[in-house]
Amino acid sequence: MSVLALGLSYRTAPIELLDELAVPRDELPKALADLTAREHVTEAMVLSTCNRVEVYAHVTRYHGGLADLRAFFADWSGRPPEDFVDSLIDHYDDAAAAHLFAVTAGLDSMVAGERQIQLQVKQAVTDAAAEGACSRLLGRVARQALRVGKRVRAETAVSSGAASMVDVGLSAADRAVGDLQGRPALVVGAGKMGGMAAARLARRCNPVLIANRGEAKRAELAERVGGDELALESLTRGLAHADVVVCSTASGEAVIDREQAAAAMAGRGARPLVLVDLAVPRDIDPGCGELDGVTLLDVTDVRAEVDEGAVGEEVAAGRAIVEDEAAAFAAWLRSRGVTPTIASLRARGEQVRQDELERLGSRLSGLSERDRAAVEALSKGIVNTLLHEPTVRLKTLADGGGAGWHAEVVSELFGLAPDEPAGDADGHEIDVDAGDPGGDDAGDPGDVYAGDPGGDDHGGDSGGGDHGDPGGDPGGGDHGEPGAGCDPEGRG
């Protein structure tokens, strides 16, 4: 049972292919159910953003799992595998973990060090856990990935000055239409990326119109940035009024078509219009860019404008941290091979303890509740102390990759059956780290953030940034778009 990552990104695929394979957030339950129903997939999570579509899975074997994930992409896109297989990149076990660590830290991003991806990964694993598709193994990988992202940003300057897709898009718009200062602007989508765009435009443009299908979010964002609301049904009027339009929703289909743009241009005279489409799948019909006076910038165009941001030594330092964390994950993964033996050994010790207490039941019947509790604690302490050393030694041997033979010897010496249930006499799961102060991952396997007080990012990113304001603080960093289409909350 191993971790497999398969997907494509801006490095390997054009935006048209990312469009077709993208998984909008409202379709995630369907996608996750599809994945986990496949023969070799036991857990899955989907990371679908502007710049990548990746599936991380817990698989029973490599080749079977790879075939299942390729088939998923083919079924999802409706295209034969040969159309996109050359764009797919796969990673296995500790390499899969290392890839997710680097992605979360912003080291694989188009803008090196960008902070949006941290929350995108968090949202991806949260959504997967909510659907019952992600538990112990992928939960462990995700927890560590979130820690690694925070560690890289805290210990390096990789995020220093890193721009966001919004910043780069607006810089491109500046060059296309001239200085945006004082010009009217329109933001379509009131999710996190729409919020960032509105916050930045409000500092330079006047007025700023906010269009969004959901009235409550539209009103809240308009009030926050001092903008004006625009009903989605009035988009053509908004297009006729604005000089720059930023669009980022998760509608899954175009919200601005060529006909709307043409109608808007008819009433603008010679004023040029810049459309910035930051969504995947695209929000704006590519045909709009063919109209006279219209400049259309999509994710591909924004990529061409990207400043490399934090490069060189800082990225190398981040990569070193990722390698260190990946090695730790690999050691933990190897230790999983002895976990059944340790669990069975502890289950046997617990069974012997309870059998002996039951055998002495008549002699203990006269004890007070306090004395009974003392006997219970004493017997548990003896078992835990006795088994502590072999538990630690087996884990240490597993870290070095040589525990297989020793695990077999322990099973033979104690007569542990390969399929012996790892539970106590009452059927409760035995904690293989009981009595082991250095034990790992003893939390609730269903909670992907169990035992990770910093991993869920609630306390903000120690590497800097703007976690508290999804609309973007004028002086802060950029966070983003948890889920598909870069902006799942802006339904446009």
Residues noted as catalytic? 50
Q: Specify the amino acid at residue 146.
A: L
- Return the beta strands (E) in 135-190 as ranges: 185-188
Which residues, 6+ apart, have CB-to-CB distance to 320 below 8 Å?
A: none
What DSSP line would sit under 17-81, residue for residue? HHHHH---GGGHHHHHHHHHTSTTEEEEEEEE-SSEEEEEEEESSHHHHHHHHHHHHHHHHTS-G
Distance, in Å, from the CA atom of 332 to the CA atom of 314, rounded to the nearest integer, reads 27
Nearest 5°: CA angle at 103, between 99 and 75?
Answer: 75
Which residues, 6+ apart, have CB-to-CB distance to 405 below 8 Å?
A: none
For residue 444, the 8-state DSSP code is -
Distance, in Å, from the CA atom of 422 to the CA atom of 429, rounded to the nearest integer, reads 6
For residue 283, the 8-state DSSP code is S
Is residue 218 within 8 Å of 190, Cβ to Cβ? Answer: yes
Among candidate residues 164, 176, 168, 165, the one with its CA nearest the CA of residue 296: 176
Distances (CA, A) of 465 to 123, 403, 415: 17, 43, 55
Overall size of the chain counted in residues: 492
Among candidate residues 353, 346, 205, 185, the one with its CA nearest the CA of residue 273: 185
What DSSP line would sit under 200-226, residue for residue? HHHTT-SSEEEE-SSHHHHHHHHHHHT
CA contacts within 13 A on the Cβ side of 212: 31
For residue 428, the 8-state DSSP code is P
Which residue has tokens 């290392």? 98
If one counts every other C-beta atom within 10 angstroms of the C-beta of residue 276, the result is: 28
The number of angstroms, rounded, from the C-alpha of 62 to the middle of its chain's C-alpha atoms is 22
Name the region of 427 (left: φ>0; alpha: ψ -120 to 50; beta: rest).
left
Distance, in Å, from the CA atom of 189 to the CA atom of 197, rounded to the nearest integer, reads 10
Structure-token pair, residue 376: 């219970």
Which residue has tokens 């079977």? 64
Structure-token pair, residue 305: 């404008």
Distance, in Å, from the CA atom of 387 to the CA atom of 377, rounded to the nearest integer, reads 15
Distance, in Å, from the CA atom of 431 to the CA atom of 58, rounded to the nearest integer, reads 22
